[in-house]
Chain A
Amino acid sequence: FLEGGTALPRPDQEVLHKPRFLHTTQTQTQTMATPPNSNMSPAEKAKAFDMAQLEMEYRVDLYNAMTASCFAKCMDTRYKEGDLNVGENSCVDRCAAKYWQVTGIVGQMLGGMQQQQQQPR
């Protein structure tokens, strides 16, 4: 994962995702707690590690779910070829983009619901 860079990880590199921010949407930015840093007390730091762990696991789950869903939706299960054809390639690209958008929308809705629940009536 390269921060803001234009280079992409090579396909055969293992991608494990940054433990920092949750999704941004156009209107709402959700961030997890700040990553562990040297200005924190031990208790805060322990909490920050836990949050970092949670966020990493979340990212991994997201990636795995995206992979599984897009495979199910895009791939011909007759497995005639070991390679992806052009149609499958495009399907995967679009599937990933749409999946990401769905994640954003759901995040927004959940955030909105939480806010509603927290507001005193």
Chain B
Amino acid sequence: MDPSQLEGLPEEDKQKMLSMIENMQTKDSLRMYNSLVEKCFKDCVDSFRRKNLDSNEERCVTKCCEKFLKHSARVSVRFAELNAGAEALMQQQQKR
């Protein structure tokens, strides 16, 4: 989150925005946790002959998480680029 956008706001508004953002980040972290578990479970765990995960499944889950997190990071970089591009375009259009 870019703190410079919150400049020029009175302090209480700033705090309100910051706490909104923090709330959303927490909510989103929890949502991501759940969805990642579901995804990796779906992709990696297929047999229920035993109660415990075997080593293949464990390895698969670990790699699934790693992969998803790296993928997520990459997407966030691209998303930021696309956003910045759209903003720049909009500012150009507004100047006309």
Q: Which residues of A contact B (CB under 8 A)?
A: 1-5, 8-9, 11-12, 14-18, 20-21, 23-24, 29, 31, 35-38, 45, 49, 52-53, 56-57, 60, 63-64, 66-68, 70-71, 74-75, 77, 79-84, 88-89, 92-93, 96-97, 100
Interface residue tally for chain B (C-beta within 8 Å): 51
Is there an interface contact between A4 and B93, defined as CB atoms closer than 8 Å?
no
A-B contacts counted at CB < 8 A amount to 144
Q: How would you classify the secondary structure of chain B's contact residues: helix, strand, loop or mixed? A: helix
Is there an interface contact between B83 and A82, defined as CB atoms closer than 8 Å?
no
Complex alpha-carbon distance, A95 and B83, angstroms: 15
Q: Which residues of B contact A (CB under 8 A)?
A: 1-2, 4-5, 8-10, 13, 16-17, 20-21, 24-25, 28, 31-32, 35, 39, 43-44, 60, 62-64, 66-68, 70-84, 86-91, 93-94
